[in-house]
């Protein structure tokens, strides 16, 4: 078996040895404001971004509400006290006032960062057939590619600060309409200090010709990232949106509290895929990103559709529940998730499907994998309102345990108020099958690769939902994250 | 002033009355309970375990409590309706918390050291035995209900079965509520089974008057190695009767336990089961049926703690909810790190018959061991349209077809009751319940 390790297995070896390969920092000139949070800081962020008065008011309202809240404690997570005054709420790697006008103007250091991240920027994109990318580094959107091609179709894809300037009426109409600033602790915090993020608007009847994609990266030390994404799909439109996240390796914990809002109108369809690979901390649980995210889609239109797909392998602590409010008649919500935790990672993730319209349906497929000393929980709500006749839900959440020091937990909630609803939930928890491992070993596949193979097979149902490029990356990620789990 | 403070005041001001005539074993636990209640209070909706049942609110009204233990005039022959035909039982009545032995039970000579009787008098006669077990597993840090019950407990039932003894006849305990004022009744049951012992316990809750009442009952059951224990709990009261029942059970190795909770008629009910599998190879079956209508509310909460390896637990709860009733089920299975080779399965299936009926379900798994087979499933739905159509096609009326389907639905639980006469009786009761004939049983005096 030893020989095999060196030959066939080279890919897995190569990846395994890399450990967390995104752990570099880039020495880009970054403007970071003083640590701490108060009204002045919020005014300063707002002023730096040249925001209109209404947005500043929105931020201040959120801030004042946030002050009245306490950190939520209900999740199956052990979250250390977070000192919110010891975080810098704004880090701007671009400093140039007007932002880059062409590729040459971008700091070459920054460009090489994205090279390392493997983000296909404009040139490569032209060859590879097209993914429009918005790269958000330390909360500020650095560059959005392919804008022109998109704008010909009337599609708006830009940073949210640009959208505030260029399309204030759209932003004003939809911002905070799905995730209210009063929603929860982190949503309030984000609403107060969010610095950037992506804005997408797909006009009526337009099918977005390419995948839209945003890469998020925390670069500067001592900062938090608070981005905000807003996607509006007008009647009969379609868009597929991808999101990827990485962060440098640091001993301290960094906070990431984002909001994603999606509005889906009549017969529109949105696919939202995430590969979350924030720095998970080292093998002793030191460092890593706290990922406290509020993601929600509002299916307002009839026969609208929203599909969340997520592969969660990073972050020290994940607290994330991408949800669908199914208020349009005949709307469909989907949630596909693979959450993998290793070492001392903790994840409490799942979804909420809130059925309000008639004949709405939702599907939940969640696959949890825990290894090392990690704790991995699924928490999901299926709610069927009084008027949601004919609502249908199917949920399946499976957990796989690798090793005897980890935990896998399932906490589904069902709240049914309509007699015509059909709701099903199934969950299983088990260890990786000895028989399958033996079968692989018998055929000369070494242990580690066998595990990778079995885990990938187990997660296939979800990985299949990812767009092509992401599926490949996700498979590699699963292999890396599983390194040394069974020895 | 919070609700628990009212009870703490009441307790302090009436301490002498409460203690009077009660065994020192029972009185000796009150301080500890008081401490726990002062610290943790009564459970309300802020607790995850009580998300859909505000127990504190139930305690809030000005309930009368018979702390002076005035004798109540209960004619237990009136409770004839809980007679199970063809099932000969050792029948006892609890009027409030006072144990009354039926004539038939009085004639039976208990041998082999089996003790069945009033908790208070047993605690006086066998203080060492009762002290060893009383308020041992009823965890007051964890449950405000156990605290308040222990604070005010005066009497109830005590059953002791020594090692290797099999009690052939099922023990039936009929709890009756009868009072001319709104009453709260506080009962305590302690069951101890030695190694290899066997016992079947049937609890029936009934009420005679239609006054508002709250019954708070805590059951502690210790099941020794290789012992076998069946526990059937049937509630058939009326809409003004509220009940909070908490069962704590601890199982030793290779023991076998069957718990069944059946709610046919009630006001607001909360049944909590805390089961600990403390010995290897123990097996536990927990089942429940709730049939509700009007504004009835049934909340079943189970917590199964797999502490050691090679244990099995199976759980099945079924609800049929009609009109404006509210059902809630939350079950948590905890598999600790050492509990390898655990098999734990949990199922909750529900039928909502109307739009206004509401069901909450939370099956939960918390697993820290890797060599396990655990699953849970939950569904909420309606009766199968195709089956209804099939039956109507064959000349069965729609309402009859519905009743048949509902019977079949709950029979998965009722059908596996091991005592055949009881099973038949339960089937009959459930059928009556579905046909809306409840409270019109032929045997009982009040219904005539």
Q: What is the pLDDT of residues A9-48, one digit of tens each?
A: 454 444 444 456 666 666 555 667 778 888 988 998 888 8
In this structure, what is the dihedral angle of CA atoms A51, A54, A57, A59, given to the nearest 10 degrees?
A: -60
> Chain B closest CA to A180's CA: distance in Å?
23
- B49 within a domain of the structure (yes/no): yes
Q: What is the mean pLDDT of chain A?
A: 81
> A371 in contact with B at a CB cutoff of 8 Å?
no
pLDDT at residue A484 in the model = 60
Nearest to A215 by CA among A102, A123, A99, A110: A110
Apex A266 CA angle, A265 and A270, nearest 5: 55
Interface test with chain B among A389, A415, A486, by most B beta carbons within 10 Å: A415
**What are B383's two structure tokens?**
């009766």
Provide the token pair at B378: 């939950």
Give pLDDT, residue A285: 81
Distance CA A446, CA A440 (A): 8
B340 shares contact with chain A (CB less than 8 Å): yes
Inter-chain touch B373–A407, beta carbons under 8 Å: no
If residue B206 lies in a helix (H) or strand (E), which one and from where to where? strand B198-207
CA B1/CA B14 separation, integer angstroms: 18
Q: Is B382 on the interface with A (CB under 8 A)?
A: yes
Tokens (6 digits) for B124:
């006086």
DSSP bridge pairs for B374? A429, B344
Quote the tokens at residue A183: 């929603």
Residue A72, chain B, CB below 8 Å: the answer is no
pLDDT at residue number A467 = 79
Q: Is residue B385 less than 8 Å (CB to CB) from chain A?
A: no
* Domain region containing B224: 3-386
User: Quick check: B323 contacting A, CB < 8 Å?
Assistant: no
The pLDDT tens digits for A178-207 are 999 999 999 999 999 987 788 999 999 999
pLDDT at A93: 62
Q: Are B160 and B133 in contact (CB under 8 A)?
A: no
C-beta of residue B152 within 8 angstroms of C-beta of residue B194: no
| Interface membership of B373 toward A (CB under 8 Å) | yes
**A426 contacts on B by Cβ (under 8 Å):** 375-377
A12 closest CA partner among A462, A487, A485, A482:
A482
pLDDT of residue A11: 47
If you count residue pairs, one on A and one on B, with CB atoms under 8 Å apart, how many are there? 118
A198 has which bridge partners? A159
Which pLDDT tens digit goes with each residue over A430-481?
888 888 889 999 999 988 888 888 888 888 888 888 877 677 777 777 776 7
Nearest chain B residue to A400 by CA distance is: B370
Contact A383, A423 (CB under 8 A): no
Contacts of B377 in chain A (CB under 8 A): 424-427
Question: Which residues of chain B are within 8 Å of residue A413 when distances are taken between CB atoms?
Answer: 360-362
Q: Distance between CA atoms of A267 and A206, rounded to whole angstroms?
A: 12
Closest CB from A384, A405, A410 relative to B376: A410
Domain contains B255: yes
Reading the block at residue A78, the tokens are 């052990």
Q: Please report residues of A whose CB lies closer than 8 A to that of B371.
A: 404, 431
CA-based nearest distance B106→chain A, Å: 49
Residue A96 reports pLDDT greater than 70:
no
DSSP code, position A80: P
**A430, B373: Cβ pair inside 8 Å?**
yes
Residue ranges of alpha helices (H) inside A153-305 are 160-166, 168-174, 185-193
**What does the DSSP 8-state code read for residue A481?**
H
Best residue in B323, B364, B371, B382 for a mutation probing chain A (most A CBs within 10 Å): B364
Nearest residue on chain A to B379, alpha-carbon basis: A424
Whether B252 is in a domain gets the answer: yes
Among all chains, which residue has been given the structure tokens 């002290």? B131
Say how far apart CA A480 and CA A473 lie, in whole Å.
11
Q: What pLDDT was estimated at residue A404?
A: 82
User: What is d(CA B145, CA B50) in angstroms, rounded to the nearest whole number?
Assistant: 12
Residues of A in contact with B382 (CB under 8 A): 419-420, 422
Contact B360 A414 (CB under 8 A): yes
pLDDT tens digits, one per residue of A254-277:
888 999 999 999 999 999 998 888
Q: A285 in the Ramachandran plot: left (φ > 0), alpha (ψ -120 to 50) or beta?
A: left
- A423-437 burial, b at 16+ Cβ within 10 Å, e below that, comes to bbbbbbbbbbeeeeb
Give the Cβ contact number of residue B389 at 10 Å: 12
Q: Give me the count of residues in chain A.
A: 487
Chain A: residue nearest B349 by CA?
A: A424
Residue A303 is predicted with a pLDDT of 96
Nearest to B378 among A74, A76, A425 (CB): A425
CB atoms under 10 Å from CB of A84, counted, come to: 16
Q: How far apart are the first and last CA of chain B?
A: 46
Q: Dihedral of the CA atoms B385, B391, B397, B399 (nearest 10)?
A: -40
pLDDT by residue (tens digit) across A350-368?
A: 999 999 999 999 999 999 9
Decide if B370 and A76 are in contact by the 8 Å CB cutoff: no
- Would you call B354 and A419 a contact, using CB atoms and an 8 Å cutoff? yes
A-chain residues near B340 (CB < 8 A): 404
CB A65 within 8 A of CB A188: yes
- Using the Cβ of A166 and the Cβ atoms of chain B, whether some distance falls under 8 Å is answered with no
**Which residues of B are less than 8 Å from A371 in CB distance?**
none
Domain contains B422: no
Q: B125: Cβ–Cβ under 8 A, 6 or more apart, which residues?
A: none
Q: How do the pLDDT tens digits run along chain B, 448 residues long?
A: 789 999 999 999 999 999 999 999 999 999 999 999 999 999 998 888 898 999 999 999 988 888 888 876 666 655 555 566 667 788 888 888 888 877 667 666 677 889 999 999 999 999 999 999 999 999 888 889 999 999 999 999 999 999 999 998 899 898 887 777 888 999 999 999 999 999 999 998 887 767 889 999 999 999 999 999 999 999 988 888 999 999 999 999 999 999 999 998 889 999 999 999 999 999 999 999 999 988 999 999 999 999 999 999 999 999 999 989 999 999 999 999 999 999 999 999 999 888 889 999 999 999 998 888 889 889 988 888 899 999 999 999 999 999 999 999 999 999 988 888 889 888 988 888 888 775 444 444 443 3
Note whether A430 contacts B360, CB cutoff 8 Å: no
**Residue B112 Cα to chain centre, angstroms:** 28
Q: Do B355 and A417 make contact, defined as CB atoms within 8 angstroms?
A: yes
Residues of A in contact with B48 (CB under 8 A): 74
Q: CA B82 → CA B76, B78, B130, distances in Å?
A: 11, 10, 29
Domain assignment present for residue B399? The answer is no
With contacts defined as CB-CB under 8 Å, which chain B residues touch A350?
none
The residue among A210 and B361 whose pLDDT is bigger is: B361
Q: How far apart are CA B355 and CA B31, in angstroms?
A: 47
Yes or no: say if B117 and B104 are a contact pair by the CB < 8 Å rule. Answer: no
Residue A377 has a pLDDT of 93
What is d(CA A459, CA A280) in angstroms, rounded to the nearest whole number? 20
Facing B372 at nearest CB: one of A403, A426, A431: A431
Match 């996607």 to its residue by tokens. Answer: A231
Residue whose token pair is 């709405």:
A360
Contacting residues of A for B366, CB less than 8 Å apart: 76, 407, 409
Q: Check CB contact under 8 Å for B376 and A74.
A: no
Q: For residue B211, is it within any domain?
A: yes
CB-based contact, A407 to chain B, within 8 Å: yes
Pick from B337, B350, B363: CB nearest A404? B337
Of A403, A405, A409, the CB nearest to B365: A409
Which residue spans within B224-325 are E strands per DSSP?
228-236, 241-251, 256-265, 268-277, 283-292, 297-306, 312-321
Q: Is residue B325 part of a domain?
A: yes
Closest CA to B79 of B92, B68, B66, B90: B92
* Share above pLDDT 90 across residues of chain A, in percent, rounded to a whole number: 39
- B411 within some domain: no
A79 touches chain B (CB under 8 A): no
The total of structural domains in chain B comes to 1
Res B442: pLDDT = 42
B85 touches A at CB < 8 Å: no
Provide the 10 A C-beta neighbour count for residue B432: 15
| Structure confidence at residue A266 (pLDDT) | 95
C-alpha span between B138 and A106 (Å, rounded): 68
Q: Which residues of A touch B363 (CB under 8 A)?
A: 410, 412, 425, 427
The ipTM estimated for the assembled molecules is 0.77
Interchain proximity B364–A410, CB inside 8 Å: yes
* Helices and strands, counts by H and E, chain B: 12, 20
Residues in chain B with CB shorter than 8 Å from the CB of A402 are 370
Q: Which residue from B minimizes the CA distance to A402?
A: B370
Inspect the interface and report whether the beta carbons of B361 and A414 lie closer than 8 Å. Answer: yes
What's the gap in Å between the CA of B6 and the closest CA on chain A?
A: 29
CA distance B172 to B102: 10
């Amino acid at each position: 078996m030893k020989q095999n390790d060196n030959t066939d297995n080279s890919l897995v070896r190569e990846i395994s040895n890399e450990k967390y390969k995104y752990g570099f920092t880039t020495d880009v000139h970054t403007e970071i404001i003083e640590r701490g949070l108060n009204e002045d800081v919020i005014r300063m962020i707002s002023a730096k971004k040249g925001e209109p008065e209404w947005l500043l008011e929105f931020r201040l309202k959120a801030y004042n509400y946030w002050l009245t809240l306490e950190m939520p404690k209900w999740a199956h997570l052990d979250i250390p006290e977070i000192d919110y005054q010891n975080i810098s709420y704004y880090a701007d790697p671009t400093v140039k006032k007007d932002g880059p006008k062409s590729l040459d103007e971008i700091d070459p250091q920054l460009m090489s960062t994205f090279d390392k991240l493997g983000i296909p920027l404009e040139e490569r994109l032209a060859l590879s057939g097209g993914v429009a990318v918005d790269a958000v580094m330390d909360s500020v959107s650095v560059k959005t590619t392919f804008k022109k091609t998109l704008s010909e179709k009337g599609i708006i894809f830009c940073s949210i600060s640009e959208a505030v300037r260029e399309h204030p009426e759209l932003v004003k109409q939809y911002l905070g309409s799905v995730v209210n600033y009063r929603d929860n602790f982190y949503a309030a915090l984000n609403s107060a200090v969010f610095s950037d993020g992506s804005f997408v608007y797909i006009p009526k009847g337009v099918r977005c010709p390419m995948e839209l994609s945003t890469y998020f990266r925390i670069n500067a030390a001592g900062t938090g990232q608070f981005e905000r994404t807003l996607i509006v799909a007008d009647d009969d439109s379609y868009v597929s949106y991808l999101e990827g996240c990485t962060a440098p390796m640091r001993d301290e914990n960094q906070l990431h509290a984002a909001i994603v809002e999606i509005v889906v109108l009549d017969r529109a369809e949105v696919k939202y895929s995430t590969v979350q690979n924030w720095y998970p901390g080292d093998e002793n649980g030191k460092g890593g990103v706290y990922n406290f995210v509020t993601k929600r889609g509002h299916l307002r239109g009839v026969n609208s559709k929203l599909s969340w797909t997520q592969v969660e392998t990073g972050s020290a602590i994940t607290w994330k529940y991408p949800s669908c409010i199914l208020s349009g008649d005949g709307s469909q919500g989907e949630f596909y998730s693979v959450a993998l935790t290793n070492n001392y990672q903790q994840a409490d993730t799942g979804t909420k499907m809130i059925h309000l319209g008639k004949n709405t349906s939702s599907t939940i497929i969640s696959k949890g994998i825990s290894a090392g000393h990690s704790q991995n929980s699924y928490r999901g709500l299926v709610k069927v309102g009084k008027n949601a006749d004919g609502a249908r839900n199917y949920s399946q959440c499976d957990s796989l345990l690798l090793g005897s020091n980890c935990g896998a937990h399932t906490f589904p909630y069902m709240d049914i108020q309509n007699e015509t609803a059909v709701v099903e939930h199934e969950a299983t928890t088990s260890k990786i099958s000895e028989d399958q491992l033996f079968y692989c070993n018998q055929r000369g596949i070494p242990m580690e690769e066998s595990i990778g193979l079995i885990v990938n097979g187990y997660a296939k149902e979800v990985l299949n939902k990812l767009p092509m490029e992401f599926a490949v990356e996700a498979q590699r990620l699963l292999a890396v994250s599983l390194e040394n789990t069974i020895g | 002033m919070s609700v628990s403070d009212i009870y703490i005041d009441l307790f302090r001001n009436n301490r002498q009355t409460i203690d009077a005539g009660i065994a020192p074993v029972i009185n000796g636990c009150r301080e500890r309970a008081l401490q726990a209640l002062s610290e943790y209070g009564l459970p309300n909706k802020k607790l995850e375990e009580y998300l859909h049942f505000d127990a504190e609110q139930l305690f809030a009204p000005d309930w009368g409590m018979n702390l002076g233990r005035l004798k109540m005039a209960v004619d237990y022959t009136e409770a004839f309706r809980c007679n199970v035909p063809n099932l000969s039982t050792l029948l006892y009545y609890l009027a409030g918390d006072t144990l009354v032995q039926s004539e038939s039970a009085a004639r039976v000579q208990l041998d082999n050291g089996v003790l069945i009787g009033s908790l208070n008098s047993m605690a006086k006669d066998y203080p060492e035995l009762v002290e060893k077990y009383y308020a041992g597993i009823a965890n007051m840090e964890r449950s405000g209900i156990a605290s308040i019950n222990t604070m005010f407990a005066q009497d109830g039932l005590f059953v002791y079965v020594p090692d290797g003894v099999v009690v052939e006849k099922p023990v039936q305990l009929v709890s009756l509520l009868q009072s001319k004022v709104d009453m709260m009744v506080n009962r305590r049951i302690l069951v101890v089974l030695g190694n290899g012992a066997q016992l079947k316990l049937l609890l029936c809750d009934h009420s005679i008057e239609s006054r508002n009442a709250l019954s708070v009952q805590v059951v502690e059951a210790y099941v020794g190695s290789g012992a076998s224990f069946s526990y059937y709990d049937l509630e058939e009261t009326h809409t003004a009767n509220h009940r909070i029942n908490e069962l704590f059970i601890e199982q030793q190795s290779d023991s076998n336990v069957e718990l069944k909770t059946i709610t046919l008629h009630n006001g607001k009910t909360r049944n909590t089961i805390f089961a600990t599998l403390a010995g290897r190879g123990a097996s536990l079956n927990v089942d429940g049926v709730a049939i509700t209508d009007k504004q009835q509310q049934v909340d079943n909460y189970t917590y199964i703690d797999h502490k050691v390896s090679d244990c099995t637990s199976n759980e099945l709860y079924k609800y049929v909810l009609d009109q404006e009733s509210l059902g809630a089920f939350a079950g948590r299975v905890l598999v600790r790190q050492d509990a390898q080779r655990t098999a734990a399965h949990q199922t909750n299936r529900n039928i909502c018959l109307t739009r206004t009926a509401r069901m909450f379900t939370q099956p939960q798994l918390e697993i820290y061991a890797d060599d396990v087979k655990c699953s849970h499933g939950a569904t909420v739905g309606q009766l199968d349209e195709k089956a209804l159509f099939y039956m109507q096609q064959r000349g069965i009326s729609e309402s009859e077809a519905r009743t048949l389907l509902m019977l079949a639905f709950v029979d998965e639980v009722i059908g596996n009751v091991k005592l055949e006469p009881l099973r038949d009786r339960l089937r009959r009761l459930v059928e009556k319940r579905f046909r809306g004939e409840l409270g019109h049983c032929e045997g009982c005096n009040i219904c005539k």
